[in-house]
Structure 1
Amino acid sequence: MASKLLQMKSKAVQASCFAAKHGNAYYKQLLEKNKHYVQEHPTIEKCDLLSKQLFYTRLASIPVRQEAFWKEVDYVKQLWKHRQDLKVEDAGIAALFGLECFCWFCAGEIVGRGFTFTGYYL
């Protein structure tokens, strides 16, 4: 166990050295590659305009997302109507998905309480 810890520590040190040595070049390369997305003269007015564009673009996408949601609901309804034809694999995937959602809910509750393990979830 201690040898694994030392190996992991040495790997972390190597990764840190690599990032320190090549991080600045990667940053410059990334900015150069994506400079057409950067606003040249960032003013308060331009930032306000961009935030409004983002907000209203997302607001305009709600009907499309709502339609996709109702298609998914209809698909689940059809699956439920024909549940006798459901395979074990499909039921297992659905059960795992439900378990994953519950675990994320529990993890969110624990994080929201400041990483304290109190309450009735244990």
Structure 2
Amino acid sequence: MASKLHQLQSKAVAASQFVAKHGCVYYKQLLEQNKQYIQNPPTVEKCSELSKQLFYTRLASIPGRYESFWKEMDAVKQLWKRKDELRVEDAGIAALFGLELYAWFCVGEIVGRGFTFTGYYV
């Protein structure tokens, strides 16, 4: 156990040395590549204005997303009505979608709890 702790500590030291050596260059390069997104002057007022713009823009997009949702639901209803004509590809897509839902909800919950399983005694 002590040797693993020592290995982890040495890796952490190596990583922090790498960041200390190359972090500033990476930071400047990142800012240079994305300077079109930087607002000048960088003040608290400007940040507040941008956050309000983002909030109200997202709020204004709700009706369009709501309409898209109901179009998708209508497509699912049509597929369900014609379930006798269901192809293997459509069934595969539905299975992958179900697997993705499982991953987002169940596995995400497990990861959020720090990879602990509640209710199980192992």
Same fold (TM over 0.5): yes
Percent sequence identity is: 76
Instruction: Tell me the residue number matched to 2:84.
Output: 84
CA distance in 1, matches of 2:112, 2:42: 35
Distance 2:112 2:27 in 1: 34
Higher relative contact order (CA 8 A, sep 6+): 1
Aligned to 1:68: 68
Moved more, 92-101 or 68-77: 92-101
CA RMSD of aligned residues (A): 2.6
Under a length normalisation based on structure 1, what TM-score does the superposition of the two structures give?
A: 0.71
Q: Give the secondary-structure state (helix, strand or coil) at the position aligned to 2:90.
A: helix
Residue correspondence of structure 1 range 10-29 to structure 2 within 5 A: 24-29=24-29
Gapped regions of structure 1 (runs ≥ 5): 1-17
SS at match of 2:56: helix
Which one-letter code corresponds to 2:69 in the other structure? F
Gaps of 5+ in 2: 1-17
Give 1:3's aligned residue.
none
Aligned to 1:105: 105
Structure-2-length-normalised TM-score = 0.71
**Residue identity in the other structure for 2:117:** F
Give yes or no for the alignment of 1:59 onto 2:25.
no
Quickly say closer, same or farther: Cα 1:42–1:114, change in 2 above 3 A.
same
Paired amino acid for 1:106: C
Amino acid at match of 1:67: E
Give the paired residue count: 105
Partner residue, 1:42: 42
Deviation, 1:26, is 4.9
2-structure distance, mates of 1:113, 1:101: 18
Superposed CA deviations along residues 44-68 of structure 1, whole A, max 9, x for unmatched, are 1111111000000000011111111
